[in-house]
Chains A and B, each alone.
Chain A
Amino acid sequence: MRRCRLMVEVGRRQFLRGTVGTATAAAAAATVGGGARAATPRGGVVPDYPRIRLANVRDLVVDEPLEVTYPDADAPGVLLKLGRRVPGGVGPDGDIVGFTTVCPHKGYPLHYVREERTLDCPGHFSRFDVEAGGQQVWGHATMNLPQYELRVDEKGDIWAVGLDELLYGRVSNVLG
């Protein structure tokens, strides 16, 4: 009942999209603890993400970060080959991931800590685990690290086609 009503209400809102009804049901069921992909605000229409070639799988060496930008030149990020299958990983070994390198807390540049495979922020000491979907290991950001949605074509070219969180400093991931 509640879900249906919410879906109708949500349908009226020009800014809202996504799976709020499902999320609401999950929130109602999950009272404590883990894992509920529960209710959070959903905002914005889906922008028209550009499809951009970032590199070829041959360009990547395990643990050598490759600086890239996505979805435009003002959005620095990194491609990483990790040598083991990880969440969001693509390529023949499922080990290639891409992340923004702008801290989602206050917009400071993240650096790669090779020994632990984290992206760390010198501004306020937050750190994100590139082997766990960009989960904030510890820090102040209210989101985990925005990760690239990647595709690898038959030639081994790595294409970025989207993002899973809002980038710092933008009201829309695609500017304009």
Chain B
Amino acid sequence: MAFKRNVDRLPIVPPDAEEYNVVCHFCIVGCGYKAYVWDANREGGPEPSRNKFGVDLRRQQDADSAAWYAPSMYNVVRKDGRDVHIVIKPDPDCVVNRGLGSIRGAKLAEYCHSLVTGTQINRLTDPLVWRYGQMQPTSWDDALDLVARVTARVIKEYGWDGVFVSAYDHGGAGGGYENNWAIGKLYFQSMEITNIRIHNRPAYNSEVHSSRDMGVGELNNAYEDAELADTIVAVGTNPLETQTNYFLAHWIPNLRGETLEKKNRLLPGEPHEPARIVFVDPRRTVSINAAEAAAGKDRVLHLAIESGTDLVLFNALLTYIYDKGWIDRDFVEKYTVGFEKGPQEPPMYPARADSGEFAGRWPGLDEVVREIRISPEEAAKICGVPAGDIVKAAHWIAEPKAGGHRRRTMFGYEKGVIWGNDNYRTIAALVNLALATGNVGRPGGGCCRMGGHQEGYVRPPYPGGRPAPYIDKLLIEGKGAVHHIWGCDHYKTTLNATEFKRVYKKRTDMVKDAMNSVGWADRDRLVDAILWAIRQGGLFAVDVDIKPTMIGEACHVVLPAATQGEMNLTSMNGERRMRLSERYMDPPGQAMPDCLIVARLANHLERVFREMGDERMAERFRGYDWKTEEDAFMDGYHRHAPGGKFVTYARLRKMGTNGFQEPAVGVDEEGRIIGTPRLYTDGRFSTPDGRARFMITKWRGLQAPGKAEQKRRYRFLINNGRANHVWQSWYYDQDHPLVTDRWPWPFLEMNPEDMKELGLQAGDLVEVYNDAGWTQAMVYPTPTARRGETFMLFAAPRGVQGNVVNNGVNELVIPNYKQTWANIRKIADAPAEARRISFKSKEYRPPA
């Protein structure tokens, strides 16, 4: 049987329940929720006067009811030291999600730590240290003393280069402005650390360097633009699964024609129709299927290109549109570098050439088209899609509407190109297209990444260079003496993971063995022993997280963090909408917000350096007298973010789940923060002269080292990515029975004919292997999958896809997960857990 809770009734939220603003912890969309909290020993009643919603709960509620909550939205948690009921349900008044909850966010309550109901009871509650050969709980002071002493000794002996850091830089749970600022202040201001990487990539770099180099910040539109667009172009993104309620609440209504009234009202004087949509993706996704159901197949175009050839497609679209005269000449003239010879600026690797005709300067649009010119027919050969479909896409993107009005086209892209072939040039080619058609900074437009996590980044500047050091590679080569890890689990979420884990375990085991040779309380000798092991090639590792992680098993100190809901936390979503998600419960055990862990670590480092007699170093770690997360917010965002001076907790609290769109530009007479719905509406882009840049984006095949060879040698494309049920590294989901019941192992979507040739049945476990490593997956028959092309669920604890991703990166150390090829062989018949699950198509079918 499928997982069932056997819940027949839920406690009713009483009228006097406390109410908190909540933003979903997870994806970039940042849906609004409300948390209701009340004493454990009572409840409201079904009569309207006896419940929070003023609704007669003795009756069946209608569809889209604001007065219903699922069992996953309910729990019993600790608040101020007492057990309380909690209901966390979607907020119908939030303009982002309009009352919708995804399969991830609508489980926020069930993801809470609860000793009463037993949910997420393996949350970290105490600092843990490697003592007598195993991880043992200890006090904060004891754990931080060891971390500070080892780190200080390493800095003395190796300089800043001895300290390696892995740290998230995202918003939402774990991240947010408070925690990101704290980490940045510690490592970039108090220390000068360059050997640092981010949660999902092996260096300290941008995922969209080229867009920024061209002056186009990557989150430049408003979600409303998806309701106003004539055409949406979705590249390497599967929004129904990964930005669910952005897609459902803003894209689908436009595809269904439900936003026509709004279009006519906001954009009068031009013809409007329901939107058309172009998907660029080698795989047929559930998003494409849903778009067809909403818009009709004739208004959905799927360009199922050969994996990694996006750049060629964009170049062909630009060439065709340019030749047709559909360029927005006025926009190009006024707001970009223009058509010929862009400005001379010092070369910035790898945007501007070091030699040749374009050395040290930006090209104009005419020059770009001359350099990248390719016909639909030539592109069709490389991309593997009909030339007619490329032409059709060009018409949908840029052919003027009746009366000569410019078509409004919105471009959304994500990991398909970000983790795809030749990231820098490919994204640049798409931005070229958006700029040339005048679609940045206008309603119904935008050229945006769709986003993964929410954002929440304000830090002192990174002291390293460009390209930033390839941290995983350096760790594998034996560099680094101490490794601080903040909310990352590279064992599940890095590339070249087979080799990374092999070396990492070996190096951290050396330190564990040394620690085993000394008594714990003999602190000086313990630190000496650790330093001795480091000199032999060992690595001392400290992990800060909310849950036990796979990389944490290799670490010597594990520190328990609080997460969103257990602390006040600010973040922004994919349209830069900033909200304060309020604290609604206690953190488990001794867990603390990351920003306060940073502060206490800094306090200990100051003390340790003073004890070592180094006053100058000790002074660097002053300025961390934060008592609350709000202190970190005021020190960081309020003082350093653009418009931060207008933003306080009190003002944000008042603005509820709708918040404002960054940057803040003022405060109105009622104390409401005034934001910025769209960027670049004045045509001034993020460049020194305010003019956007174009870039020459020549095709060079599979760019990352080893990819072309891998494609030749191995039979199957192992395309990879996310699924609806799962958030990020499964840190909650691996302990949630609804998720593990559906996906006991990562699925591998595979064409049934390929399965037949390999003698595979649905649910069989297979080994996926190549020159980089090996991993396992569960076969999911998928008739829409092309022969030789599979898709594997990413970051699963029981089968790490990164194990078979080679170490090839681009010039700026962006990983290339998507272009992975491997062979597949059977391990075992479907295990019992796999035999009971559904292997039917994931695609919705309308009524016959």
Contact = CB atoms under 8 A, between A and B. Distances in A.
A17 B744 CA distance: 27
Contacts of A156: none
Interface string B401-436: 000000000000000000000000000000000000
A77 to B, nearest CB: 13
A169 B65 contact: yes
Given A16-B76, A142-B70, A175-B60, A137 B842 contact: yes
A147 B290 CA distance: 26
A164 B838 contact: no
A166 B837 contact: no
A172 B7 CA distance: 9
Given A39-B119, A41-B117, A43-B71, A142 B738 contact: yes
Given A37-B737, A135-B742, A31 B74 contact: no
Secondary structure call for the A interface: loop
Contact of B735 (A15, A38, A41, A114): A38
Given A133-B1, A137-B842, A140-B101, A34 B833 contact: yes
A74 to B, nearest CB: 4
Interface stretch (B103-111, B463-471, B704-712): B103-111
Name the residue in B63, B65, B798 with the highest tally of chain A Cβ atoms < 10 Å from its Cβ.
Answer: B63
Name the residue in A13, A121, A166 with the highest tally of chain B Cβ atoms < 10 Å from its Cβ.
Answer: A166
Name the residue in A143, A171, A173 with the highest tally of chain B Cβ atoms < 10 Å from its Cβ.
Answer: A171
Contact of B122 (A27, A37, A45, A135): A27
Secondary structure call for the B interface: loop
Contact of B8 (A9, A24, A122, A163): A163
Contacts, number: 287
A125 B107 CA distance: 19
B63 A40 contact: no
A35 interface: yes
Nearest to B72: A142
Interface stretch (B39-47, B301-309, B630-638): B39-47
B836 to A, nearest CB: 7
Contacts of B3: 37, 135, 144
Interface stretch (B9-17, B137-145, B374-382, B443-451): B9-17
B4 A164 contact: yes
B738 A168 contact: no
A42 B117 CA distance: 7
B10 A125 contact: no
Contact of A16 (B60, B117, B737): B117
Interface string B40-77: 11010010000000000111111111001111111110
A155 interface: no
Contact of A33 (B6, B10, B62, B798): B798
Contacts of A83: none
A107 B4 contact: no
A62 interface: no
A114 B2 CA distance: 20
Contacts of B741: 34-35, 135, 144
24 contacts: A13-B40, A24-B118, A32-B734, A38-B737, A41-B71, A41-B74, A41-B75, A42-B117, A47-B9, A88-B1, A116-B841, A118-B845, A122-B844, A138-B844, A139-B724, A140-B103, A140-B244, A143-B4, A143-B5, A166-B70, A169-B63, A170-B57, A172-B8, A176-B58
Q: 7 tightest A-B contacts by CB?
A: A44-B9, A39-B118, A34-B744, A24-B118, A142-B72, A107-B63, A169-B61
Interface of A: 6, 9-10, 13-16, 18, 20, 23-24, 27-28, 30-47, 49, 74-75, 87-88, 104-108, 111, 113-118, 120-127, 129, 131-144, 146-147, 163-166, 168-176
